[in-house]
Chains A and B, each alone.
Chain A
Amino acid sequence: MHEDTFDRVLVPIASEQDAESTCEALLEYLPENGAQVHVVHVIEKAGGAPDKASVSQREERAERIFEHCRSVLGETAISLETEILYGTSVAETLLDHAQSIDASAVVFTPRGASRWVKLLTGSVTENLLTGTDRPIVVLPQED
């Protein structure tokens, strides 16, 4: 893999449970110095219908996710930036953001979801893979 792939990575994190393991897995691949990590959490909006969960409720969760990431990456030489994104399509919002920060790659750990849940909620992974204009790196999930 090209060295620069991990220079400026966009790391979407969906849940508190994923935050620490994703950051730890990420640490193993990042170059020693100068890597930039942009951790984002997308708050999915219904775009005109009330959301299932309150926006501020999910913003509070996003802050807790970022806190987990800081606890793992904060002590390292990595420059960490966090941001909450809003959008009606998670994948589209992520790819737009990747473009705006000129990310070298989008890095994430896949989330398990049963087929019928994906059918109802839409598969973010699939949409990311089909819509991307830059490298997507899937980190192995630790058990």
Chain B
Amino acid sequence: MGDEELAKDLGLVSAMMIGIGTMVGAGIFVLPGIAAREAGPIVVLSFVIGGMIAMINALAVSELGTAMPKAGGGYYYINRALGPMFGSVSGMGDWMGLAFASAFYCIGFGGYLTGLFDGTALALPTLDLGLFVLQDIQIGGLIAGVIFIGVNYIGAKETGGIQTIIVSSLLVILAVFSFSGLFYFDWGTVITDGSVAPLGTTEILPGTALVFVSFLGYAKIATVAEELKNPGRNLPIAIIGSVGIVTVIYAIIVGLMVGIVPYDQLSEEVPVSQVSEITFGALPTLGAGPLSLSLSAIGVTGITVAALLATASSANASILSSARINFAMGRDKIVTDWLNEIHPEYATPYRSIALTGGMIILFIVALGQDLKILSSAASVLHLIVYGLMNVALITFREADVPGYDPDFRVPFYPITPVLGLLLSFGLVWFMDAEVIALSMAFVVAALLWYLFYARGETTEDGVLSQYILERSEEMPDAAVSAAEAASPDETRPYRVMVPLANPRTEGTLLDLASTIAQERENGIVHAVHIVQVPDQTPLNRGAEQLDRIDSESEKQLQRARERIAETDVEIETSTILSHRSFEEIFDAARQFKADKVVMGWGGGRPWSAGRAERPIDELTHDLPCDFLVLKDRDFDPSKILIPTAGGPDSDLSAEIARTLRSAVGSEISLLHVVDGEDEREAGEQFLANWAADHGFGDAVLRVDDSGDVEGAIADAAEDHTLVLLGATERGLLSRLVNRSLTFEVVDTVDASVILAERPSDRSLFQRLFGRQ
């Protein structure tokens, strides 16, 4: 067996047990009493509707889970699809939802613990601490909480068998319970005032909202999806299967309960114990005297033990999966990695467990007197996540993401996910206003967290915003700006790429590049050695020759590193073998996501020969980033001339001039050429404005009215050391490559020349169907 399989040791049965074990605890043992009092006997229907809503969402989880069997479940899918803003909301929602659910399960456990010890020496007290009162059930819940948190913190060894044994014995006990219940079931008890819905059918959906917490467990299977064997098959079966099974169990058992005890008399804390006292009450006592064995007492105690096991496994699974969500969030930098440190001895994510545990304890103490708040808050937060998960699914399908290849696909797309979205958000509507407000407070907190913390840390953008931003021309403006606003801050490095071919001028280029990079806090220089190889030489030659090229290239790049090491700018290096060096620069700029390319021209650089496989026009009309092309003649940036006629390319020249001015204190002159004496005044006005707009208040302004652009530049260049020439028209670079540059001046002046060109912002339509 390979390591891969060893790491994945959850089979179908184990996965199903996680789902059933997490769900069944709450639905059967805690909620029926409260829910029946609210909805009447028709609460059975509330459970069934809850199961149907869960099932529709389970389909979505199955598709997303088989496409991405990763730790983190819902959070992971939403963050990938919708980006880190919704990622933060879903991660926080899932996490807090689990904390609320765990507190709820602990209180459930506490209820049965109190019941078990009631009347014995171990009976739990009610503590009056002055400011607030801790009821006995809360104390039971706290005991449970501390134990479950401790078990997960220390990582007490738990083996697969135990989980399966616990859940199987639970199911057996429930089957016995149901069987015994059949004999006591009475339609007369169900029907009150001649109806199964004495409180009205309008109570069904609020009932569903209340009991929905009983269906939260299936998503836990997705949070441990990375550990599943054959997830493509087992994940959907386990998720859909466990939802189906618990829905049937709930319908049967809750149906029996309201047929045994009138709905308004069901215990709010320990309904199953109450019912079992009736159904097991007539069981005979074997033997007599002190050695007598009361089967009825055994039955009732058995049910109580089952309840403890069920609520314990629910709480345990929830605490455990909250740590998975923290880990997934930490990986995307939405929370700090500190939280996800693994304990050196216990090998557990102890900080994450401790933090989650702290919140569980807080919720038990602060809100534990009202089970309904805990369960509803857990439901609302999970429903928000489920709703978003359906949006994520639609996004993945519509954006046609490469690599999104689920083994299971939801039937009736897009109806199913749309329905899942509507039902999830719709069910929130039936929750109590205070619970919705409490949950919304967490959502707002998550948004603030994103804006003030995560946005600056995370770099991962979602499929949705990429989809919108890539189609910014076709999408409504509001969608584009929303997508931009929600995207993470640019924390990736500001990359100044320097294609190197000729060691003669690389020093100058690297200096220029590092000066530009230094301007930015996160600027780095990326030296790319482009090794031109003859066309007839295949690129995948023998290793020996490759090694030779690599070591030669390494030598040149080492020189680059040494040069940069004198500054405090970081440097990265790459070597590229190429037949077509000019195009290669464009490809490399795209591949490395360069922000600026600083390249040399002439001097025997292969790309100066203008060879390319694609038409140069097409290439240069779609620049991947800003390009600066240096024609070096003893580079000296002390006196800079910027000829300008406005436009984005001279903005770029201005930016570079400002960088050089702040780095070496360059003197700057601006030149504007007009066609005659009568335009001079307007020209002066234009230049003064341009100078002021671009921060050149102190520059020397020159307006030339000869109308001869090249002559004027050549004249002015006489007393300057560097000409910074922005393309006044599109495609300057392409004409440079074609040797059809109208500015012959580049070749005739004595000063060094930098040609600056910004990517064209022509629309996709223009790019495809015509030129500007």
Q: Which of B107-115, B338-346, B506-514 interfaces with chain A?
A: B338-346
A121 and B349 contacting across the interface, CB-CB below 8 Å: no
Q: Which of B9-17, B55-63, B90-98, B363-371 interfaces with chain A?
A: B9-17
Q: Which of A12-20, A26-34, A71-79 interfaces with chain B?
A: A12-20
B161 (CB) vs chain A CBs: closest residue: A48
B348 and A52 contacting across the interface, CB-CB below 8 Å: yes
A131 CB-CB contact with B under 8 Å: no
A51 CB-CB contact with B under 8 Å: yes
A1 CB-CB contact with B under 8 Å: no
Contact of A111 among B18, B71, B159, B345 (CB under 8 A): B345
Residues from chain B with a CB closer than 8 A to the CB of A47 are 9, 159-161
Residues from chain A with a CB closer than 8 A to the CB of B227 are 50-51, 55
Q: A49 vs B160: C-alpha distance in the bound complex, in angstroms?
A: 4
B347 and A53 contacting across the interface, CB-CB below 8 Å: yes
B344 and A120 contacting across the interface, CB-CB below 8 Å: no
A101 CB-CB contact with B under 8 Å: no
Q: Which of B150-158, B392-400, B603-611 interfaces with chain A?
A: B150-158
Enumerate A1-21 residues with CB–CB distance to B below 8 Å: 14-18
B337 (CB) vs chain A CBs: closest residue: A60
Q: A52-B347, A53-B347, A87-B6 are in contact. Are A121 and B156 (CB under 8 A)?
A: yes
Q: Which of B178-186, B316-324, B446-454, B555-563 interfaces with chain A?
A: B316-324
B153 CB to closest chain A CB, in angstroms? 9
Q: Mark B135-162, 1 if CB is under 8 A from A, else 0.
A: 0000000000000000010111111111
Q: A43 vs B6: C-alpha distance in the bound complex, in angstroms?
A: 10
Q: A86-B3, A87-B6, A121-B155 are in contact. Are A54 and B226 (CB under 8 A)?
A: yes
Q: A84 vs B7: C-alpha distance in the bound complex, in angstroms?
A: 10
A111 CB to closest chain B CB, in angstroms? 6
B71 and A55 contacting across the interface, CB-CB below 8 Å: yes
Q: A50 vs B159: C-alpha distance in the bound complex, in angstroms?
A: 9
B157 and A48 contacting across the interface, CB-CB below 8 Å: no
A48 and B347 contacting across the interface, CB-CB below 8 Å: no
A7 CB to closest chain B CB, in angstroms? 25
**Size category, B interface:** 35 or more
B60 CB to closest chain A CB, in angstroms? 21
Residues from chain A with a CB closer than 8 A to the CB of B320 are 50, 52
Interface centre among A18, A43, A51, A53 (most CB of B within 10 A): A53
Contact of B71 among A44, A52, A54, A86 (CB under 8 A): A54
**Size category, A interface:** 20 to 34
A54 and B324 contacting across the interface, CB-CB below 8 Å: yes
A122 CB-CB contact with B under 8 Å: yes
B13 CB to closest chain A CB, in angstroms? 8
Residues from chain B with a CB closer than 8 A to the CB of A18 are 344
B601 CB-CB contact with A under 8 Å: no
B163 and A53 contacting across the interface, CB-CB below 8 Å: no
A57 CB-CB contact with B under 8 Å: yes
Interface centre among B71, B152, B328, B345 (most CB of A within 10 A): B345
B215 CB-CB contact with A under 8 Å: no
A53 and B342 contacting across the interface, CB-CB below 8 Å: yes
Q: A124 vs B194: C-alpha distance in the bound complex, in angstroms?
A: 67
A57 and B6 contacting across the interface, CB-CB below 8 Å: no
Enumerate B151-205 residues with CB–CB distance to A below 8 Å: 152, 154-164
Enumerate B341-384 residues with CB–CB distance to A below 8 Å: 342, 344-349
A78 CB to closest chain B CB, in angstroms? 24
A46 and B159 contacting across the interface, CB-CB below 8 Å: yes
Q: A61 vs B7: C-alpha distance in the bound complex, in angstroms?
A: 15
B10 and A48 contacting across the interface, CB-CB below 8 Å: yes
Residues from chain A with a CB closer than 8 A to the CB of B7 are 43, 45, 55, 86
Q: A50-B320, A55-B71 are in contact. Are A113 and B14 (CB under 8 A)?
A: no
A15 and B158 contacting across the interface, CB-CB below 8 Å: no
Residues from chain B with a CB closer than 8 A to the CB of A117 are 154, 345-346
B327 CB-CB contact with A under 8 Å: yes
Q: A58 vs B321: C-alpha distance in the bound complex, in angstroms?
A: 15
A130 CB-CB contact with B under 8 Å: no
A88 CB-CB contact with B under 8 Å: yes
A109 CB to closest chain B CB, in angstroms? 12
A48 and B11 contacting across the interface, CB-CB below 8 Å: yes
Q: A35 vs B188: C-alpha distance in the bound complex, in angstroms?
A: 84
Interface SS, B side: helix
Residues from chain B with a CB closer than 8 A to the CB of A56 are 70-71, 226, 327
B228 (CB) vs chain A CBs: closest residue: A50
Residues from chain B with a CB closer than 8 A to the CB of A86 are 3, 6-7
B327 and A57 contacting across the interface, CB-CB below 8 Å: yes
Residues from chain A with a CB closer than 8 A to the CB of B321 are 50
A18 (CB) vs chain B CBs: closest residue: B344
B9 and A46 contacting across the interface, CB-CB below 8 Å: yes
B515 CB to closest chain A CB, in angstroms? 34
Residues from chain B with a CB closer than 8 A to the CB of A85 are 3
Q: A46 vs B320: C-alpha distance in the bound complex, in angstroms?
A: 13
Q: Mark B326-340, 1 if CB is under 8 A from A, else 0.
A: 011000000000001
B670 CB-CB contact with A under 8 Å: no
Q: A120 vs B3: C-alpha distance in the bound complex, in angstroms?
A: 26
Q: A55-B7, A84-B3 are in contact. Are A15 and B345 (CB under 8 A)?
A: yes
B224 CB-CB contact with A under 8 Å: yes
Q: A57 vs B227: C-alpha distance in the bound complex, in angstroms?
A: 12
Residues from chain B with a CB closer than 8 A to the CB of A48 are 9-11, 14, 159-161, 163-164
B376 CB to closest chain A CB, in angstroms? 26
B14 and A57 contacting across the interface, CB-CB below 8 Å: no
Residues from chain B with a CB closer than 8 A to the CB of A55 are 7, 71, 226-227
Q: A51 vs B224: C-alpha distance in the bound complex, in angstroms?
A: 9
Q: A82 vs B543: C-alpha distance in the bound complex, in angstroms?
A: 26
Q: A53-B347, A55-B71, A58-B342 are in contact. Are A121 and B157 (CB under 8 A)?
A: yes
Interface centre among B6, B321, B340, B344 (most CB of A within 10 A): B6
Residues from chain B with a CB closer than 8 A to the CB of A44 are 347
Residues from chain B with a CB closer than 8 A to the CB of A51 are 224, 227
Interface centre among A16, A51, A85 (most CB of B within 10 A): A51
Interface centre among A45, A52, A111 (most CB of B within 10 A): A52
A61 (CB) vs chain B CBs: closest residue: B342
A57 and B158 contacting across the interface, CB-CB below 8 Å: no
Q: A56 vs B330: C-alpha distance in the bound complex, in angstroms?
A: 12
B159 and A14 contacting across the interface, CB-CB below 8 Å: no
Residues from chain B with a CB closer than 8 A to the CB of A50 are 10, 18, 220, 224, 227, 317, 320-321
Residues from chain A with a CB closer than 8 A to the CB of B220 are 50
B71 and A57 contacting across the interface, CB-CB below 8 Å: yes
A57 and B349 contacting across the interface, CB-CB below 8 Å: yes
A46 and B160 contacting across the interface, CB-CB below 8 Å: yes
Q: A51-B227, A55-B226, A113-B345 are in contact. Are A46 and B154 (CB under 8 A)?
A: no
Q: A117 vs B154: C-alpha distance in the bound complex, in angstroms?
A: 8
Q: A44 vs B346: C-alpha distance in the bound complex, in angstroms?
A: 11
Q: A137 vs B73: C-alpha distance in the bound complex, in angstroms?
A: 43
B473 CB to closest chain A CB, in angstroms? 39
B347 and A58 contacting across the interface, CB-CB below 8 Å: yes
Q: A97 vs B612: C-alpha distance in the bound complex, in angstroms?
A: 55
A57 and B159 contacting across the interface, CB-CB below 8 Å: no
Residues from chain A with a CB closer than 8 A to the CB of B224 are 50-51, 54
Contact of A15 among B14, B18, B328, B344 (CB under 8 A): B344
Interface centre among A14, A46, A54 (most CB of B within 10 A): A54
What would 18 A/B residue contacts be, using CB atoms closer than 8 Å?
A45-B7, A46-B160, A47-B9, A47-B160, A48-B10, A48-B11, A48-B164, A49-B158, A49-B160, A52-B320, A53-B155, A54-B226, A57-B327, A61-B342, A88-B159, A120-B157, A121-B154, A122-B157
Excluding A45-B6, A46-B158, 9 further A-B contacts by CB distance (< 8 Å) are A18-B344, A47-B9, A48-B10, A50-B220, A50-B321, A54-B327, A57-B327, A86-B7, A120-B154
Q: Name the 7 nearest CB pairs between A and B, nearest first.
A: A48-B160, A15-B344, A86-B6, A54-B71, A52-B155, A49-B163, A50-B224
